Structure 1
Amino acid sequence: MPCCKPWLSAVSVKLLFSILLCGWLFWIALPASASSQRVVSLAPSTTELAYAAGMGDNLLAVSAYSDYPPEAKKLEQVASWQGINLERVLALKPDLILAWRGGNPQRVLDQLASFGIPIFYSDARNIDEIAQSLDELAQYSPHPELAHQAAEQIRQQVVELKNRYANNAPQRVLLQFGTQPLFTSSADTLQSQVLSLCGAENIFAESPMPWPQVSREQVLARKPQAIVTTGGEQQIASVKAFWAPQLNVPVIALDEDWFNRAGPRIMLAAQTLCRQLAEIPR
């Protein structure tokens, strides 16, 4: 019996190979589809942004203290104040890394980038930049509409607070973030901008450093009418004891995560602060 004739000629083989090669090159040139993104978050704030942007199901791992929303607590932790577990992050083969320059070591981030992994940086210094981060994350989200909705909600809340409190008689406020040493913030911080939404005045707004260390004498000379800190009732008592008897003014303690993380919950801090400042007798 004669041998069977090959089903592909040499020309056909070359054509098929060309088609497959072009298709493969086209596939690798495309970004990973939103629904298949494998995402690692290296800061609590970027974790909150990811969930708000509809990317929660894409998260493989997060940083220490990524505790909101509660689902984030179930994820593996690959970063902390001690650094980033480079080997573990690479083993997870992420399509995208969410990072914060202010809290993540740049050397390790550069190493991760050298492996061709895209890094999305969120370094918001004001509320508008938080909303902008959400809009930018929409391109990676399987639910981009959620990202844009979250951004728009923040912008609407900012407008509402400005309209409600901007015309109030300004109160002089000390933003206090420690006692040993005693330090505060300038106008060039997210926290100071939150304060300004309430129509209040940061007594160290003009400082050239974003987080200046100050003395008791400098604070007393500026005669604050209120003090804003983070924590609960115990922290309020501690701050009052620190200033007694020289300074006896209302102390407002905000949820630390709300006030210090550059995420959507900053608006909860703003709403709470504005309401409590408005209740202080003028």
Structure 2
Amino acid sequence: MANRLLALLALWICSGLALAAGAPRVITLAPHLTELAFAAGITPVAVSAWSDYPPEARQIEQVANWQGIKVERILALKPDLVLAWRGGSPQRQIDQLQALGIKVAWLDPDSVAGLSGALRQLAPWSPQPALAQQAADRLAARFNALRARYADSAPRRVFLQFGLQPLFTAARNTLQNQLLTLCGGENIFADSAAPWPQVSREQVLTRHPALIIVPGDEQAAARALNFWQPQLKATVVAIPEDWLSRAGPRSVLAAEKLCQALHPAAI
């Protein structure tokens, strides 16, 4: 292990310690971090697999996937900052990078406020810091507008459905639950001790949701509807998976669609 670290350090030294003038060189290790970086005015020099938004992210070199991260390649790219995610970035390899002098920032927005906060955190690393601050302000304003508009709405019972076999859902301490409650949704599993509990069909049926939210497209909604009929007479609404599952700027689009599904008469 020690020899491995020394070899990596030698690679880093040989590639040059001086940072290039101009915009900070940023690498993102998760798709939602890529989205946040772009929203803050940062074009990463490398990204993770599945970084497909905005479209230009698809053309950037990928240095991470579900199997791990390419430590040697990251060193060769001489980043000023690597953005990591505690929910998916491998701790051992991140420790390696830090031991070799690479600055790593953990960015884990898990709340509505945390999303705009992440953009503000990125501002010092943006070639356009004011753009990052403005993006944060706009995002916060859109969330606040939804909160104000639906503040007095009657609550509706909702099941946030992720997967079919097994069934699992999001509980209180998740961003997805915050998006739902923003406009009067009542999460039927908010009281679960686990943030992402696995649940049974019977548990869902006994809690009588009026609305089921699934990530995906209309085909996903049709599969869910078929799964629950005829025992459960609930409306099923699909929300694009990236909007609902990624903790990024497009989370506000998920919130807006959730509000429309909860209160169609208010549109």
Determine if the TM-score, normalized by the shorter chain, exceeds 0.5: yes
| Shift of residue 120, structure 1, vs aligned partner | 1.4
5+ long unaligned stretches in structure 1: 1-27
Distance in 1, matches of 2:24 and 2:123, equals 12
Aligned to 1:15: none
Distance in 1, matches of 2:92 and 2:235, equals 43
The alignment yields a C-alpha RMSD, in angstroms, of: 1.7
Aligned to 1:180: 165
Aligned to 2:198: 213
Runs of 4+ in 1 over 2 A off after TM superposition: 31-36
Secondary structure of 1:60's match? coil
| Shift of residue 188, structure 1, vs aligned partner | 0.5
* Residue 109 (1) aligns with residue 84 (2): no
| Shift of residue 35, structure 1, vs aligned partner | 3.0
Distance in 2, matches of 1:199 and 1:251, equals 17
- Kindly provide the amino acid, as one letter, of the partner of residue 74 in structure 2: V
Aligned to 1:92: 77
| Shift of residue 36, structure 1, vs aligned partner | 3.4
Answer yes or no: is the 8 Å Cα contact 1:34–1:142 preserved in 2. no
Answer yes or no: is the 8 Å Cα contact 2:19–2:78 preserved in 1. no
Q: 1:36 aligns with which of 9, 23, 35?
A: 23
Distance in 2, matches of 1:147 and 1:42, equals 19
Instruction: Quote the sequence identity (%).
Output: 55
**How many equivalent residue pairs?**
250
Aligned to 1:200: 185
Distance in 1, matches of 2:105 and 2:22, equals 17
Distance in 2, matches of 1:219 and 1:36, equals 50
5+ long unaligned stretches in structure 2: 1-16
CA deviations over 1:144-172 (Å, ceiling 9, x no partner): 01110111111111110011112111000
- Kindly provide the amino acid, as one letter, of the partner of residue 162 in structure 1: R
| Shift of residue 204, structure 1, vs aligned partner | 0.3
Answer yes or no: is the 8 Å Cα contact 1:34–1:141 preserved in 2. no
Structure 2 counterparts to residues 1-282 of structure 1, below 5 A: 35-56=22-43, 59-279=44-264
Distance in 2, matches of 1:244 and 1:132, equals 42
Distance in 2, matches of 1:239 and 1:230, equals 10
Do the aligned partners of residues 215 and 34 (structure 1) sit closer, same or farther apart at CA in structure 2, a change above 3 Å counting?
farther
Distance in 2, matches of 1:67 and 1:36, equals 22
Distance in 1, matches of 2:87 and 2:265, equals 34
Do the aligned partners of residues 64 and 35 (structure 1) sit closer, same or farther apart at CA in structure 2, a change above 3 Å counting?
same
With the length of structure 1 as denominator, give the TM-score of the two structures. 0.85
Distance in 2, matches of 1:46 and 1:142, equals 17
Aligned to 1:7: none
Aligned to 2:12: none
- Kindly provide the amino acid, as one letter, of the partner of residue 122 in structure 2: L
Answer yes or no: is the 8 Å Cα contact 2:63–2:69 preserved in 1. yes
